[in-house]
Amino acid sequence: MKLVIATRNPHKLKEIQAIFDFQGLEIYSSFDFPEIPNVVEDGDTLEANAVKKAVELCKATGLPALADDSGLEVEALGGRPGVYSARWSGEGCTYADNNAKLLRKLEGKTNRCAQFRTVMALARPDEQPQTVEGSVHGVIIEELRGDQGFGYDPLFMPDGYSRTFAELPAEVKNRISHRARALDAAANVWNDFFQGRK
């Protein structure tokens, strides 16, 4: 059985493969299909983008496709950047630009609560796509700390920890992250497909 993971983000792919034991499945990713164009992530929810990515890749390859769309939802910003997390500072922006914007937006704010949320979609040929989700709560600290992970990791300290996602060992992030929790749900809900793998 084959499965293609819909991402061209090497960090994300590495995390998904570190978290989940795909034993028995032949795993591919968007990197293996360079001729297939990137999906335009123009949905206004994480769900819409995850489903779009999974369905388009499933159609283009004829293989079952797994896609995730994730975002950082900050309470004091009404849930922003959320679905706009990747390009929050504009087209072509860097992780550093987005982190700087987040610090600016939260200047003087006492409520620093936030969550990372992942919606994962599985699209199989001739079936309706399905979604599951996972989230992790934490706070946005006041300066960047750590150099592991990616994206907003240096500013996000998960509840119950005194280190950011960028300071924690990858094994810890991969145990408690939004992506890990979504994959947990995936293993439970789609156990016909994953056959209880974890």
Q: Under the rule (CB under 6 A), what is the footprint of ligand IMP?
A: 9, 12, 68-72, 85-86, 98, 116, 149-153, 165, 177
Q: Sheet holding 156-158: strands in order across?
A: 26-29, 2-5, 65-74, 113-123, 130-140, 156-158
Q: Shortest approach of ligand IMP to residue 156 CB, angstroms?
A: 7
Tokens representing residue 187 in the block: 């293993």
Q: Shortest approach of ligand IMP to residue 11 CB, angstroms?
A: 8
Q: Which amino acid is at 63?
A: L
CB-count burial class (<10 Å; 0-12, 13-18, 19+) for 13: middle
- Which CB sits closer to ligand IMP, 64 or 82? 82
- Which CB sits closer to ligand IMP, 61 or 73? 73
Q: Shortest approach of ligand IMP to residue 6 CB, angstroms?
A: 10
The question of whether 192 is a catalytic residue gets the answer: no
- Which CB sits closer to ligand IMP, 7 or 61? 7
Q: Name residue 158's beta-bridge partners.
A: 138
| Closest residue to ligand IMP: CB criterion | 151
- Cα–Cα nearest to 190, from 133, 128, 130: 130
List active site positions: 69
